[in-house]
Structures are given as structure tokens and as C-alpha cells.
Amino acid sequence: MTNDIERILITEEQIYKRVRELACDINDYYGGKPIVAVFVLKGSAFFASDLIRWLNMDVTMEFMSVSSYGMESVSSGKLTIKRDIDTDIMGKHVLIIEDIIDTGITLSTLERLFRQRGAADIKVVTMLSKPSRRIVPFAADFTGFEVPDEFVVGYGLDYADKYRNLPYIASLKRHIYENNGEE
């Protein structure tokens, strides 16, 4: 698995430090108010788990799995929800936790969905953002790192459902994704 790595972009130590900084900012923002933390699966699993253990308010954990279909989902406001949250978020403070914002389509659509469901407040925290890839303008409220337009894996991020369990964030060798993983 590690033979497929081009270079490490963000080390385990950098991730650990940044997650704690983000948690401090989030704690300051909420000032002790309870929140619903929505893990957007699968990519955010590690980041969200690491982040919420540093939060100092009551946190309800919720899990969501979605697929978006490009611009169509933005204009229609529809996402395919593969797994929905269990909680009624009416009047609640919702923190959406993502691993990466790329085109911005998933998050802009998800945020609209939670607004329609009556959340009192919606904030988004993402570990990574690739601003150069945006199709719709979207800025997270809390961002761990901005990354260049490279194929990144690890710490939850995958290629063909592999590499999620790498403890760091790395770029993948070009031949892996250009040849569908064949040598």
C-alpha cells in the first residue's frame, strides 16, 4: 500500500495538532451549546472521531452517507441519501464534518437540505479543501488545510476504497490512478 504513495503532504503530527486547533475554534464558537455532529461517511470517519473527542459540549453523533450527481444535484437541490441521520434537527445546532471539499456540490446541497429541515444553525468543518476545484462557491466555516489539486489519500480519503487507513495524508503515484491500480 505505501509503495503507491508519491509523497506525504500532511504528517500524523500535523494532523493531530491541527485537529486540536480546530476543536478549540469550534468550542469557542459554540460556547458550550449542545450540537448534533454529522459525520459524512465514509471519508470523514477518522477526522470526525478525532475531532469530537476534543469538543467540550454535549455532542450527538449522527451518520450520513450521500452521493451527488454533479451540477444537476445543485440546481435541483437533491442528493441521493444512502444513509440518513436518525435525529430530528429542527431547532438544533448542526456541525457537518467532512474530510474534503472539492467541487463544493455535496456540501452546498447538504447544507440546503439541513436548512430545509429547520436546523437553528449549520456550520461545516472540513479537514481538507481544494479551492482550485470549486464548481459552486462554498467555504467551510472551519478548514484544516488547503491542498493543491493532487490526488490525495489517507486519514479517511480513498482511491477505489483503498488507502483510507493510512495515518497521514499523501498524494498517490500517478500511474496508480491512471492505470486503475495495475502496474
- What residues are annotated to the active site? 102
The yes or no reply on residue 102 touching ligand PRP (CB under 6 A) is: yes
Paired sense of beta strands 93-101 and 121-129, if any? parallel
The yes or no reply on residue 129 touching ligand PRP (CB under 6 A) is: no
Nearest approach, Cβ of 96 to ligand PRP (angstroms)? 10
Vertex 137: Cα angle to 133 and 139 (nearest 5): 90
Q: According to CB under 6 A, which one of 22, 100, 140, 166 is a site residue for ligand PRP?
A: 100
Phi (first) and psi of residue 4, to 5 degrees: -85, -5
Nearest approach, Cβ of 158 to ligand PRP (angstroms)? 5
Q: Which three cell numbers stand for residue 137?
A: 462557491
For ligand PRP, the binding residues in 137-166 under the rule CB under 6 A are: 158
Task: Find the radius of gyration of the CA atoms of the chain.
Answer: 16
Q: Applying CB under 6 A, which part among 7-15, 24-32, 35-43, 83-91 lies near ligand PRP?
A: 35-43
**Contact present, 114 and 95 (Cβ < 8 Å):** no
The yes or no reply on residue 103 touching ligand PRP (CB under 6 A) is: yes
The yes or no reply on residue 98 touching ligand PRP (CB under 6 A) is: yes
Nearest approach, Cβ of 65 to ligand PRP (angstroms)? 7
Half-sphere exposure of 12 (CA within 13 A, CB side): 3
The yes or no reply on residue 40 touching ligand PRP (CB under 6 A) is: yes
Distance CA(51)–CA(14), nearest Å, equals: 14
Residues that bind ligand PRP (CB under 6 A): 40-43, 68, 98-106, 158
